[in-house]
Amino acid sequence: MLDALYKPKSVAIIGASTKEFSIGNRIIKNLLDFGFKGSIYPINPKADEVRGIKAYNSILDVSDEIDLAHVVIPNKYVPQAIEDCGKKGVKVAIINSAGFKEIGGEGIQLEKQVVEKAKEYNVRVFGPNCQGIINTSSKVRAYCNFTFTKPEKGCISIVAQSGGVGEVINQRFSELGVGIRMYASNGNACDISIPEIIKYWGDDEQTRVIVVHVENLANPKEFMEAAKEVAAKKPILGMKTGRTKEGAKAVSSHTGGLAKVDIATELIFKKCGIVTFRDQEELCQAAIAFANQPIPNGKRVGLITNTGGPAIIATDEFVEAGLEIPPLSSNAKKILKEKLYSAASINNPIDVLATGGAEHFMAAMDVLMNESHIDSIFINFVTPFFVETDAISQEIVEVNKSQKKPIICNLMTDKRQWTETMDILKNGGVPCYSLPETAARALIAMTRYNDLKARESGKVTTFNDVDRKKAKSIVQKAKDAVRGFLSQEDVNNLLASYNIPVAKWKLVNNGTEAFKVAREIGFPVVIKVDAESIVHKSDVGGIALNLKEEEVESAVKDMEKRFAAEKPRFFVQEFLSGGRELIIGAKAEEGLGHLIMFGIGGTYVEVLKDVVFDITPITAVEAREMLSSIKSYPLLSGVRGEKGVDQKRLAEILQRVSQLVTELPVIQELDLNPIIAYEDRVFVVDARIRI
């Protein structure tokens, strides 16, 4: 569907310029230099030719069909240019011109006009305010872009929201001698979106790896759907920038996005199965391995080395990332004992010794390929002057041909002297790195992709024992009363309608009532002040805990005095002692649903910051994962003879909260803090809901 964009047979440049240092000139130069296979039509009413190619007054004067048009003219003329494109039957327009949404005000209006014209005239738009695309295929050679990096042919496709980041990644691949397949940087993305491009590459056989850079997701749902589908077929390596508040601000001022700290995008990446990076170098290095090697089926690494130290560094990296270095089978050891030098180490890592030659490497690789409990092979290869290193490279390449298990090589050498040794590996498709940690991280990334792919998150459970009608009416009532926060009573009833257990409670007007109710509930009890103006009760001394029979009335009297101005009522609640205080929260995210949070709760939640997030709706597996991903998980599972808490019930409550906010999207924030959990029971004791 994006064939006209990526495989154009003809390209027009509206705003082609005779000035050397202009975008309208540069694009033509790039197309020519890159060996574009189609025809080029410069459009310029004032010139007869641009870069030696006949120029036209208007795109409508060109008799040939035009697939793709660059628009490189001042912003206010762009809507008209799109109309002309439509009349001419142009399929896609790349609007390189800036001065749209990113400048705000009239720019936003202009971009709207562009979108309207494009719809009316059936032209797809890429951009505006963008670089363009590249297709390295020898049948196309489209460099519809004004930048400078001329990539080699390869199987990595790059899409970057920021042209700057895209160019840096493209350039880095060039320096590393790695080719790319296609490239896209679509700027404001008013029509053709990153998800659409990802989907297109999902179907492009020559694209083996997709690299995605985003600053913010215009349409998170669309992104999730596309990325999930494609990541199941081929690896997507993702990077999200603008993670800090300051960074996000920088994003908003240069791409017209929203200034907000965005934790949702990384969660989305994870949920789609995208391998996430925080570092461009690490991403590029990993991409090389993904481009050449099969994905490991698990996290068990077999190492071969001919030098000690670097193998230790790699081992540390693997173990810290949760990978395993399992011992070898006795049969494997027997073979190695026979074939390697007697001083060699026949454990994992296998140390073939610096004097080890091609036959020793061969034996070690053979053994690891045949060990069914080894998923990937890491070779640590230093090039001593006294062995035939070219022969070792040839053996590695030979074994690599089977593509049965991934082989990653840390090649420690002087690249000027051992060029042949290095080239044999490179041409044989064995990814080589100069540092053990770089090599290890590339393999770790591949293993992460396998984990993400193998992850069965299951289906979302819908609880049908909930009273949706009642829940809706509670929310509606608060909406009608234009209340931001629901009353405590409403909150408790709402939770109860979703079968979320709340500690026994009752609302009363005075001390006498409180005493009566407390007797029904059972002592000791808690008294909490309840008034619309009070949000954080303990901050203002509105909580009296652990009250005995004789203390209830006076506690209420005292609060009546102190909070007289708020005209309060009072909550009587059973006092729950000795449980773990936990928190569950939810927050609406534009275009996405809600983020849901779980962690250690109570009054120290901001201090401890031991919380994790996910995106609703969550499945049982995801709820369980949330519980086990907090740092203090041992507190939930039981530590030093102390009992753990009812995790099954907690996971269910998480899912019920997820369902509640999903079914009641007007809820902006929900905060259950604390939830008190015991070995066999869990209760919410305090909750706030904002609509």
Integer angstrom CA distances of residue 472 from 226, 344, 476, 596, 687: 33, 72, 6, 20, 18
Partner interacting with residue 457 (select from Mg ion, ligand ADP, none; CB below 5-8 Å by kind) = none
Output the smallest distance, CB 602 to Mg ion, in A. 8
CA–CA separation, 629 and 627 (whole Å): 6
Tokens of 259: 């200034």
Placement of tokens 């509640």 in the chain? 660
Secondary structure percentages of the chain, helix, strand, coil, to 5 = 40, 20, 40
Which of 212, 362, 527, 685 touches ligand ADP by CB under 6 A?
A: 685
Helix spans in 508-646 (H): 511-521, 552-562, 605-608, 620-629, 633-637
Q: Is residue 533 near ligand ADP by the rule CB under 6 A?
A: no
CA–CA separation, 652 and 624 (whole Å): 9
Q: Which helix (H) or strand (E) holds 398?
A: helix 389-400
Q: Which helix (H) or strand (E) holds 573?
A: strand 569-574
Partner interacting with residue 537 (select from Mg ion, ligand ADP, none; CB below 5-8 Å by kind) = ligand ADP
x/- string (CB under 5 A) for Mg ion, residues 616-655? ----------------------------------------
Q: Which one, 256 or 599, has the nearer CB to Mg ion?
A: 599
Residues near Mg ion (CB under 5 A), total: 2
Tokens of 158: 């790059």
Q: Which one, 626 or 684, has the nearer CB to ligand ADP?
A: 684
Q: Which one, 282 or 530, has the nearer CB to ligand ADP?
A: 530
Q: Which one, 38 or 601, has the nearer CB to Mg ion?
A: 601
DSSP 404-430: SS-EEEEEES-TTTSHHHHHHHHHTT-
Which of 228, 537, 648, 649 touches ligand ADP by CB under 6 A?
A: 537
Nearest residue relative to Mg ion (C-beta): 686
Q: Is residue 193 near Mg ion by the rule CB under 5 A?
A: no
Query: By CB under 5 A, which span of 71-79, 472-480, 586-594, 670-678 interacts with Mg ion?
Result: 670-678
Specify the DSSP class assigned to residue 161.
Answer: S
CB contact set of 454 (below 8 Å; sequence gap of 6+): none
Q: Which one, 453 or 688, has the nearer CB to ligand ADP?
A: 688
Query: By CB under 6 A, which span of 208-216, 534-542, 608-616, 654-662 interacts with ligand ADP?
Result: 534-542
CA–CA separation, 609 and 77 (whole Å): 52
DSSP 70-123: EE-S-GGGHHHHHHHHHHHT--EEEE----SGGG-THHHHHHHHHHHHHHHTT-
Q: Which one, 223 or 683, has the nearer CB to ligand ADP?
A: 683
Partner interacting with residue 538 (select from ligand ADP, Mg ion, none; CB below 5-8 Å by kind) = ligand ADP
Query: By CB under 5 A, which span of 130-138, 237-245, 563-571, 678-686 interacts with Mg ion?
Result: 678-686
Q: Dihedral sign for Cα 93, 99, 103, 108, please.
A: negative
Q: Where are the beta strands (DSSP E) in 401-534?
A: 407-412, 432-433, 505-508, 525-530
Amino acid at 334: K
Specify the DSSP class assigned to residue 537.
Answer: T
Output the smallest distance, CB 553 to Mg ion, in A. 24
Q: Which one, 476 or 538, has the nearer CB to ligand ADP?
A: 538
CA–CA separation, 684 and 680 (whole Å): 14
Q: Which one, 313 or 545, has the nearer CB to ligand ADP?
A: 545
Output the smallest distance, CB 604 to ligand ADP, in A. 9
Nearest to 618 by CA among 660, 676, 574: 660
Whether the CB-CB separation of 184 and 158 falls below 8 Å is answered with: yes
Q: Which one, 353 or 491, has the nearer CB to ligand ADP?
A: 491
Output the smallest distance, CB 457 to Mg ion, in A. 31
Query: What is the pairing mode between strands 10-14 and 39-43?
Result: parallel
Which of 84, 111, 351, 686 touches Mg ion by CB under 5 A?
A: 686
Partner interacting with residue 528 (select from ligand ADP, Mg ion, none; CB below 5-8 Å by kind) = ligand ADP
Q: Is residue 661 near ligand ADP by the rule CB under 6 A?
A: no
Q: Dihedral sign for Cα 252, 258, 263, 266, please.
A: negative
Q: Which one, 98 or 534, has the nearer CB to Mg ion?
A: 534
Q: Which one, 117 or 528, has the nearer CB to ligand ADP?
A: 528
Q: Which one, 167 or 686, has the nearer CB to Mg ion?
A: 686
Side-chain half-sphere CA neighbours of 683 within 13 A: 15
Q: Helices 358-370 and 330-339 meet at what angle, rounded to 10? A: 170
Whether the CB-CB separation of 338 and 366 falls below 8 Å is answered with: no
x/- string (CB under 6 A) for ligand ADP, residues 552-591? ---------------------x-xx----x----------
Residues near ligand ADP (CB under 6 A), total: 18
Query: What is the pairing mode between strands 68-71 and 142-144?
Result: unpaired
Q: Is residue 538 near ligand ADP by the rule CB under 6 A?
A: yes
Q: Is residue 682 near ligand ADP by the rule CB under 6 A?
A: no
Q: Which one, 282 or 686, has the nearer CB to Mg ion?
A: 686
Q: Which one, 261 or 535, has the nearer CB to ligand ADP?
A: 535
- Could you say which residues in the range 449-488 bind ligand ADP, by CB under 6 A? none
CA–CA separation, 361 and 421 (whole Å): 14
Q: Which one, 545 or 608, has the nearer CB to ligand ADP?
A: 545
Output the smallest distance, CB 563 to ligand ADP, in A. 13
Partner interacting with residue 371 (select from ligand ADP, Mg ion, none; CB below 5-8 Å by kind) = none
Q: Is residue 536 near ligand ADP by the rule CB under 6 A?
A: yes
CB contact set of 196 (below 8 Å; sequence gap of 6+): 1, 2, 226
Q: Which one, 358 or 572, has the nearer CB to ligand ADP?
A: 572
Q: How many residues in the chain?
A: 691
Q: Is residue 673 near Mg ion by the rule CB under 5 A?
A: yes
Q: Is residue 605 near ligand ADP by the rule CB under 6 A?
A: no
Instruction: Report the chain's terminal Cα–Cα distance, integer Å.
Output: 42
- Could you say which residues in the range 496-515 bind ligand ADP, by CB under 6 A? 503
Integer angstrom CA distances of residue 93 from 63, 142, 294: 18, 14, 37
| For residue 524, cis peptide bond before it (omega within 30 degrees of 0) | yes
Q: Is residue 654 near ligand ADP by the rule CB under 6 A?
A: no
CB contact set of 351 (below 8 Å; sequence gap of 6+): 305, 306, 308, 311, 344, 345
Which of 222, 602, 633, 690 touches ligand ADP by CB under 6 A?
A: 602
Partner interacting with residue 609 (select from ligand ADP, Mg ion, none; CB below 5-8 Å by kind) = none
Output the smallest distance, CB 546 to ligand ADP, in A. 7
- Could you say which residues in the range 20-59 bind ligand ADP, by CB under 6 A? none
Which of 543, 584, 586, 684 touches ligand ADP by CB under 6 A?
A: 543
x/- string (CB under 6 A) for ligand ADP, residues 381-410? ------------------------------
Q: Which residues bind ligand ADP (CB under 6 A)?
A: 503, 526, 528, 536-538, 543, 545, 573, 575-576, 581, 602-603, 673-674, 685-686
Q: Which residues bind Mg ion (CB under 5 A)?
A: 673, 686
